[in-house]
Amino acid sequence: MSTIHLHQTTTATPEQFVAALTDFGPGRSELFSASADEYLEVHDSGPSHADVTEGSRRELAPALGVSGQDSSPAARAM
């Protein structure tokens, strides 16, 4: 399991922040400009997990994140 540490200054409550991070529905790009709804695919989700592929319209700097899978160099080489 991966652990990600974030630091962000916001006026949102912790509950609002977590809700935004874990909402993979349409309109996600309104909250996260690097995310594009047409490149968002939810493979599996539950109360405590989500396996999601997320991408961006940006060609030179894609914002691709895959949760729940091994993204180590050895796994990428396969």
pLDDT tens, residue by residue, 1-58: 678 887 878 888 989 888 888 888 888 888 887 888 888 899 998 888 889 888 877 6
CA 19 to chain centre: 12
By three-state DSSP, how is residue 45 classified? strand
| Of 60, 56, 78, residue with least CA distance to 69 | 78
Looking at residue 22, its pLDDT comes to: 87
What global pTM score does this model have?
A: 0.53
